[in-house]
Amino acid sequence: MGLKGSHGLFGSQEWWNSIKSGTMPLRYVSGVIKRMYVSGQERDVPENTFDLITSEGATKTESCYANAKDDCDLYRVGRRVDIVYALDELKVQPASDGGINLSEIVLEMAVSL
């Protein structure tokens, strides 16, 4: 289980260098927040998950990420979100569709007002 480590151990300098040099593939996803809700087992927490509708009409579910608690208020229905993912190979191969099994790791998320 877990990451294969082809691009270095997760979070190591080698891993970040793989991102900077372009050897680790990245995926860019943009869209508009369609729905906000609470997921997970905690109670009495603010909405921490959203469904994003891309320009192609696909729906993607993602967690809210913020550097400061107050920034969680930026996530609202109708706002645009841009996300950059690192696509790191998993140990267990192949994927169910026969391709490469990858983990999408959020590197950056921007919410437009």
- The pLDDT assigned to 1 comes to 62
Read off the pTM: 0.89
44 found inside a domain? yes
- The pLDDT assigned to 60 comes to 97
58 found inside a domain? yes
83 found inside a domain? yes
8 found inside a domain? no
Structure tokens at 92: 């267990």
- The pLDDT assigned to 42 comes to 75
- The pLDDT assigned to 70 comes to 87
CATH of the domain at 60: 2.40.50
100 found inside a domain? yes
Give dist(CA 83, CA 94) in Å, integer.
25
Task: Report the run of H or E that residue 42 belongs to, with start and end.
Answer: none
When divided into structural domains, the chain yields a total of: 1
Question: Look-up: residue for tokens 């579910």?
Answer: 61
Give dist(CA 86, CA 47) in Å, integer.
25
Q: Express each pLDDT in 77-90 by its tens digit.
A: 999 999 999 999 99
93 found inside a domain? yes
Instruction: Tell me which residue range forms the domain holding 75.
Output: 26-111
Give dist(CA 60, CA 30) in Å, integer.
10
Residues of the chain with pLDDT under 70: 1
